[in-house]
C-alpha cells in the first residue's frame, strides 16, 4: 500500500543540550542534560502525519553510517514508508546541536550536510509521488521540489509547501514558480515577510494567496497562526499549556496535523484549530519529534484548555 502523504526534504540526528540559560560570549554554563532524537523539518512532518493515522512516506537520503541507520529504524518504527529513502556511502548523516534553555527557547547549530542529503531531480521516481494524495516539501532543493510539483500537477495531487526564511531568501523570482504550483502554503512569519518584502503578516499572506494557493497558513509562534483563504482571514490562537519544555518542531507538528486533518475531511478552519492543539502538546516535551497522536489531540481539546489572545 502506497503512502497517502509523501514528503521531500532533509533528515538528521538532533543532539539537544539542556541548560538553564544560554551561554554568553566568553562565559560558561552548566549543562542539565542531553537528549538525542531524529529530526529534520520534512522528516518531522512525515512522522507527525503517521501519528495522525495517515500513511506517510519520506523522500530523501542520509549517510550509510550509524546515524543514518538510526534514522531508518526510527522511520520504520513510526510507520513511515522508506521506499524512497536511501543510505549513501558518499555522504554522511547530518548531526545538529540544539541548545534549549529553561523557558523552552532554543539555538540551533545546523550541520552543513543537511543540504547535501536532499534528493536530486534525477533521483526522483515519478510513480512514487504520483500515487500520493498529497506531496509536501520545504523546497531546500528548489530544482527537485519543482520537478516533483510538476509531476504531481499532471497527476492531480495536492501540493503542500512549508516555506521558511532560508528558502524565502532566494527571492520571489525563484520561489514564485513553486508557489504557483502549490495548493497549501505553510510559511512561518519570517518566511512570509522575507519573500513578500512586507512588514505586515496579513498583507504578506494575502499577497501569497494571490499567487495561486487555495489556502495560506502563517505560523506565528506564541501568537498562534493566521489562516487566509478567498473566503476568510482568521487568526488561530494557541492552546496554552502549563509546562513549555521545548518549542523545537512545533511548526512541523502544526503543519503535519493541519495537512492530515484536511486530508481526513476537516475544513481549513477546523484543521488549523486542531493543528494548534497538536502543536501545544508537542512543546511539553524536549525534541522535534514529540508530536501527539490523533486521539491525544481530541482528548486535549475536549478538556477545554485555555487559549492565547
**β-bridge mates for residue 174, sequence order:** none
Q: Note whether residue 307 is domain-resident.
A: no
Q: What is the pLDDT of residue 232?
A: 94
- Per the structure block, which three cell numbers stand in for 43? 522528516
Q: Note whether residue 295 is domain-resident.
A: yes
Determine contact, residues 49/56, Cβ cutoff 8 Å. Answer: yes
Q: Give dist(CA 264, CA 54) in Å, integer.
A: 9
Q: By C-alpha distance, which of 279, 305, 246 is closest to 51? A: 279
Contacts of 296 (CB under 8 A, 6+ apart): 281
Q: What is the pLDDT of residue 103?
A: 85
- Per the structure block, which three cell numbers stand in for 116? 547535501
Q: Note whether residue 142 is domain-resident.
A: yes
Range of the domain at 257: 5-22+31-302
Q: Note whether residue 162 is domain-resident.
A: yes
Q: Give dist(CA 71, CA 206) in Å, integer.
A: 38
Determine contact, residues 93/44, Cβ cutoff 8 Å. Answer: no
Q: What is the pLDDT of residue 246?
A: 85
Q: Note whether residue 165 is domain-resident.
A: yes
Q: 3-class SS at 123?
A: helix
Q: How many angstroms from the chain centroid is the CA of residue 238?
A: 17
Is the whole-model pTM more than 0.85?
yes
**In CATH, what number is assigned to the domain containing residue 141?**
3.40.1190.20
Q: Note whether residue 75 is domain-resident.
A: yes
Per-residue pLDDT of the chain (309 residues; tens, 9 = 90+): 579 999 999 999 999 999 999 988 999 999 999 999 999 999 999 999 999 999 999 999 999 999 999 999 999 999 999 999 999 999 999 999 999 998 888 899 999 888 788 899 999 999 999 999 999 999 999 999 999 999 998 888 999 999 999 899 999 999 999 999 999 999 999 999 999 999 999 999 999 999 999 999 999 988 999 999 999 999 999 999 988 888 888 999 999 999 999 999 999 999 999 999 999 999 999 888 999 999 999 999 999 999 986
Q: What is the pLDDT of residue 53?
A: 97
- Per the structure block, which three cell numbers stand in for 250? 512545533
- Number of domains within the chain: 1
Q: Give dist(CA 147, CA 224) in Å, integer.
A: 32
Q: What is the pLDDT of residue 104?
A: 83
- Per the structure block, which three cell numbers stand in for 19? 541548560
Q: What is the pLDDT of residue 182?
A: 97
The pairing of beta strand 225-228 with beta strand 215-219: antiparallel
Q: What is the pLDDT of residue 1?
A: 58
Q: Note whether residue 309 is domain-resident.
A: no
Q: How many angstroms from the chain centroid is the CA of residue 217?
A: 13
List, in sequence order, the alpha helices (H) in the chain: 41-51, 66-78, 113-116, 126-130, 142-155, 165-168, 172-180, 189-196, 201-209, 250-263, 268-282, 294-302
Q: How many angstroms from the chain centroid is the CA of residue 59?
A: 14
Amino acid at each position: 500500500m502506497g503512502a497517502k502523504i509523501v514528503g521531500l526534504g532533509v533528515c538528521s540526528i538532533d543532539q539537544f543540550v539542556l541548560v538553564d540559560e544560554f551561554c554568553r560570549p566568553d562565559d560558561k554554563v552548566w549543562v542539565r542534560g542531553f537528549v538525542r532524537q531524529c529530526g529534520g523539518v520534512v522528516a518531522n512532518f512525515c512522522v507527525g502525519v503517521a501519528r495522525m493515522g495517515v500513511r506517510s512516506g519520506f523522500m530523501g537520503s542520509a549517510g550509510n553510517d550509524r546515524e543514518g541507520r538510526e534514522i531508518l529504524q526510527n522511520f520504520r518504527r513510526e510507520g513511515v514508508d522508506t521506499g524512497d529513502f536511501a543510505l549513501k556511502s558518499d555522504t554522511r548523516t547530518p548531526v545538529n546541536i540544539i541548545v534549549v534553555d529553561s523557558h523552552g527557547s532554543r539555538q540551533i547549530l545546523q550541520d552543513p550536510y543537511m543540504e547535501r542529503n536532499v534528493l536530486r531531480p534525477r533521483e526522483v521516481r515519478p510513480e512514487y509521488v504520483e500515487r500520493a494524495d498529497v506531496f509536501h516539501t520545504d523546497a531546500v532543493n528548489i530544482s527537485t521540489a519543482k520537478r516533483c510539483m510538476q509531476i504531481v500537477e499532471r497527476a492531480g495531487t495536492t501540493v503542500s509547501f512549508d516555506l521558511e526564511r532560508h528558502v524565502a531568501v532566494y527571492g520571489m523570482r525563484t520561489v514564485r514558480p513553486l508557489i504557483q504550483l502549490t495548493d497549501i502554503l505553510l510559511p512561518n512569519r519570517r518566511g512570509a515577510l522575507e519573500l513578500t518584502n512586507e512588514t505586515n503578516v496579513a498583507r504578506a499572506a494575502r499577497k501569497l494567496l494571490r499567487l495561486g494557493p487555495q489556502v495560506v497558513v502563517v505560523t506565528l509562534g506564541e501568537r498562534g497562526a493566521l489562516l487566509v483563504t478567498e473566503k476568510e482571514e482568521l487568526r488561530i490562537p494557541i492552546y496554552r499549556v502549563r509546562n513549555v519544555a521545548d518549542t523545537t518542531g512545533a511548526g512541523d507538528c502544526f503543519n503535519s496535523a493541519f495537512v492530515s486533518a484536511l486530508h481526513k475531511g476537516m475544513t481549513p478552519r477546523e484543521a488549523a484549530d486542531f493543528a494548534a492543539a497538536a502543536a501545544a502538546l508537542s512543546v511539553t516535551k524536549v525534541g522535534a519529534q514529540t508530536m501527539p497522536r490523533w486521539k491525544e489531540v481530541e482528548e486535549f481539546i475536549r478538556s477545554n484548555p485555555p487559549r492565547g489572545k
